Copies of this chain bind each other. A is one copy, B any other.
Amino acid sequence: MAQNRPMSTPGLRERKKARTRQAIQEAAYRLIKENGYEATTVDQIAAAAEVSPATFFRYFPTKEDTIIRDEYDPIMVESWRKHMRDGRSPIATARLVVAETLGHISPADQELFRWRTRLMYSVPALRARVWDNFSQTQTVFAELIGEQLGLPANDIRVLATTGGFIGALISVFEYWSDRPELSVAEVIDTTLSVLEQGI
């Protein structure tokens, strides 16, 4: 029973795991930046992070996950959950969530985020996972939109709406990833306006 331990010191074992994970993550970023995604092998990443290939897969289920995974998604979902019953429209809620989360990321992290996003759209293996990645948040959207329309979350009209939402976001993120002069907030703002007034 190792449950009763202060949050501040998660124990040596946990700290080591966190360090290993980060070592792998950073090795992946570095090698992929240097040599490209496809030219970088899992074995190389593992070697650079000083773990065995087997251990790599204990931390990242696939090579793709080193690029695809980020900390923003769960934060945005949480923010959405927090605000979805404030009485705002879905569009207004979305605006708020983006401002609250993607709004204040440090410039360095923004750069990293853009690089990762560009990779995601340009490397076939990563591009393949874009829909799945975005659509994991579909359920949360569906809840709110279903409520507002007075329909169950798996009603076809709700699905069409949330699917449309997500599709628009995917397209527009690709647009953003190739245009350094644009901020995420700007792009999402435009998108939401378009969706607001109908297709």
Contact = CB atoms under 8 A, between A and B. Distances in A.
Interface of A: 90-91, 124, 127-132, 135, 138, 154, 156-157, 159-172, 174-175, 187, 190-191, 194-199
B156 A163 contact: no
A87 to B, nearest CB: 18
Contacts of A174: 159
B172 A170 contact: no
Number of identical monomers bound together in the oligomeric complex? 2
B160 A172 contact: yes
26 contacts: A91-B199, A127-B131, A131-B131, A135-B171, A154-B175, A156-B191, A157-B194, A159-B168, A159-B174, A159-B175, A160-B168, A160-B172, A160-B191, A161-B194, A163-B171, A163-B172, A164-B167, A164-B195, A164-B199, A165-B167, A165-B199, A167-B168, A195-B199, A196-B199, A198-B199, A199-B199
